[in-house]
Structure 1
Amino acid sequence: MRADQILHPTDHGLYCPPGDFHIDPIRPVPRALITHGHGDHARAGHGAVLATRETLDIMAIRYGEDFTAFRQVADGCIRIGDTQVSFHPAGHILGSAQILVQPDHGPRIVVSGDYCRRANPVCAPFQPVPCDIFVTEATFGLPVFRHPDPVDEMARLLASMAEFPDRPHLIGAYALGKAQRLIALARQAGIDAPIAIHGALQRLSDYHIGQGVDLGPLVPATADDVPSGLVIAPPSAFASPWVQRFRDPVIGFASGWMQVRARARQRGVELPLIVSDHVDWPQVTDTIRELSPEQVWITHGTEDGLMRWCELNGFAARPLRLVGYEDEPE
């Protein structure tokens, strides 16, 4: 069986005919396999959903318990039609997984979803999975993107807090994954006092704590006199009246896109923190070299740059041209 008969892009997302399922579909489908809980990959309305336990829990938090008629926890190797599928850690956010699709006859395909190779204190590390075809994101698929160590970025945050002790530090971070990672990194950097969080982060942060992620003491961000001077909020909060309750704040934002100075200026960011939950250029190219697949399929990102690198390094590659995937929507 040819690879494109096993998995191919459609208007709804990646579709597997032998198993009759979609992976991270952008529209409601009868059967969906979900890599992780971010809103551009995990949508409500599917007839049945197969995902990790954490992803199913997160979808229930975000969409309500009735987000699907049927849900199944991905555990071990699962038979679906003429395929077997299994879920493996992606290192992106809590519960994130790569999906290995093994047809009865044909190549092994790994759909990596969003993934990261740096240590992340809020989720399991990326697990390399041998495969014939590797489906990779290319969010930061250009050589210019080389993200610094998050520990160094936390040192920059602490230095700013020491330099401006009377100014609250308001840091924007996506509500699922990035916010909790930033809090955990701040704890590792030595911030022991309570950290204030926007109300939009409360339920997801509580869930992480319930799963054993140490976030330390958290308090509601209802005033500018928080004990640590550190406030974490979703980016959307910075365009609302909420931000006006803080006097002369230092505005920061944690994202891999903060390496692009124009983006930081457009957002009015005084303290850009380059902390990404996606692979940068060295990580994605090193991963391809490590797996050494027969083919690389590239999706949602700078596909042409990675296509050219694959061509120069002897890897057969193709773009999937999937649409509907972007940074976690707010």
Structure 2
Amino acid sequence: MLRPDLLLQPTPKGLYCPPGDFYLDPVRGAVERAVISHGHSDHARGGHGAVLSHPHTLAIMAARYGENFAKSTQAVEYGEVIDINGVSVWLTPAGHILGSAQITVEYKGLRMTFTGDYKRRFDPTCARFEPVDGTHIFISEATFGLPVFRHPPTEHEMAKLLRNIADFPDRTHCVGAYSLGKAQRMIRHLRLAGHDAPIYIHGALEKLCAVYEDAGVPMGDLRPATMDDTSKAAREAFRGQVVIAPPGSFEGTWAQRFPDPLIGFASGWMSVRQRAKASGVELPLIISDHADWDELTDTVREVNPDELWVTYGREDALVRWAMLEGRRARPLRLVGYEEEAG
């Protein structure tokens, strides 16, 4: 069987496939051919030559970077096998955000699966993670790759938010959520829980929420959280309402325009109390778009690859766990990837 490093190689620009002559999620500079796992900006950049990805990811990239974000694009549905210079490539749901995919490459009998970012629990805005059978080399993220990260059930955290809305009906609930993926997920969870009232959104969310709507994910009654009229009457109209915005919006004075704002933040990082306290978060919601420690280790056991490669986050702990289980494992040390979708 082919040596793994002859099929995928970690480089400063990202994982490179020499026989196929393409990169997976290149983030440092433009490349001629890129296969993109999902639309977060630390994985999907504009300016490449040819980009292959799921149609929803291409729509997200167009919304973020403009219609001409690449010289050419190719939309590939989940399970559709594409030949690139003799290398078979296909996408499988990753469960991270809308359009997110694991990328499997197969060549000369070697099958390698790159997860990008993923999670295992239910998300009403995207297809659920599916393990890829027969994977020889499994390339896993490790954003929350420490045993301390064991996220509570999403239903528990949403119930906390709904209780606060009911218990403090005169306050404006300002929930920080990453603009792509988390914000739309929070909106959809609220709708499924019966919250049919208008939800006010920051301008940074408008185009991306429209992409989700176009993909068949209903957002309900969304209204702009703008306040051109700064009169007391205009401000009072937000009392008792839910406002969703990127987390950075609440670090300045933006949230203070709303009456008696109650600041929340939906992120797996809210399990770290110091982060919540330092950010002035009154209502930390531990809702993550990444796999926690148990999901990471359970997934490796389920896929049961010949070798585990680990990237994006707490690599050493997951590699150490794998080796204690008698598995072959190595860290990739890729750089340039951030915590945009905690």
TM-score interval, smaller chain: over 0.9
5+ residue gaps, structure 1:
none
Residue 122 of structure 2 aligns to a residue whose secondary structure is coil
Q: Does 1:166 align with 2:170?
A: yes
Runs of 4+ in structure 1 deviating by more than 2 angstroms, as ranges, are 222-228, 239-242
- Letter of the 1:100 partner, please give it: T
CA RMSD, 1 decimal: 1.4
Task: Work out the CA distance in 1 between the residues paired with 2:252 and 2:158.
Answer: 26
- Letter of the 1:117 partner, please give it: R
Q: Counterpart of 1:36?
A: 38
Task: Work out the CA distance in 1 between the residues paired with 2:160 and 2:88.
Answer: 46
Q: Does 1:204 align with 2:208?
A: yes
Q: Does 1:278 align with 2:290?
A: yes
1:290-301 matched pairs, under 5 angstroms? 290-301=302-313
Q: 1:224 to 1:147 in 2, by over 3 A?
A: farther
Q: Counterpart of 1:315?
A: 327
Task: Work out the CA distance in 2 between the residues paired with 1:228 and 1:32.
Answer: 46
CA offset at residue 192 of structure 1? 1.1
Percent identity of the aligned residues?
A: 58
1:1-330 matched pairs, under 5 angstroms? 1-27=2-28, 28-75=30-77, 76-103=80-107, 105-130=108-133, 131-222=135-226, 223=235, 225-226=237-238, 229-328=241-340
Task: Work out the CA distance in 2 between the residues paired with 1:225 and 1:160.
Answer: 19
TM-score, L = length of structure 1: 0.97
Cα pair 1:151 1:189 within 8 Å, conserved: no
Task: Work out the CA distance in 2 between the residues paired with 1:155 and 1:195.
Answer: 17
Task: Work out the CA distance in 2 between the residues paired with 1:9 and 1:220.
Answer: 43
Residue 248 of structure 2 aligns to a residue whose secondary structure is helix
Task: Work out the CA distance in 2 between the residues paired with 1:165 and 1:189.
Answer: 17
1:288-318 alpha-carbon deviations (Å, 9 max, x no partner): 0001000000001101110111011121100
Cα pair 1:13 1:322 within 8 Å, conserved: yes
Task: Work out the CA distance in 2 between the residues paired with 1:95 and 1:64.
Answer: 18
Task: Work out the CA distance in 2 between the residues paired with 1:157 and 1:102.
Answer: 44
Residue 207 of structure 1 aligns to a residue whose secondary structure is helix
Cα pair 1:35 1:96 within 8 Å, conserved: yes
CA offset at residue 228 of structure 1? 5.6
Cα pair 1:224 1:245 within 8 Å, conserved: no
CA offset at residue 165 of structure 1? 1.1
Residue 91 of structure 1 aligns to a residue whose secondary structure is coil
CA offset at residue 214 of structure 1? 1.8
Cα pair 1:167 1:247 within 8 Å, conserved: yes
- Give the stretch that moved more between structures: 174-183 or 210-219: 210-219
Cα pair 1:193 1:217 within 8 Å, conserved: yes
Task: Work out the CA distance in 1 between the residues paired with 2:237 and 2:306.
Answer: 56
1:211-265 alpha-carbon deviations (Å, 9 max, x no partner): 1112211111134524761110011211343222112211000000000000001
TM-score, L = length of structure 2: 0.94
Residue 108 of structure 1 aligns to a residue whose secondary structure is strand
Count of residues paired in the alignment: 329
1:189-227 alpha-carbon deviations (Å, 9 max, x no partner): 221111111111111111111211122111111345247
5+ residue gaps, structure 2:
227-234
Cα pair 2:251 2:279 within 8 Å, conserved: no
Task: Work out the CA distance in 2 between the residues paired with 1:106 and 1:184.
Answer: 42
Task: Work out the CA distance in 2 between the residues paired with 1:283 and 1:315.
Answer: 17
Task: Work out the CA distance in 2 between the residues paired with 1:211 and 1:24.
Answer: 23
Residue 176 of structure 1 aligns to a residue whose secondary structure is coil
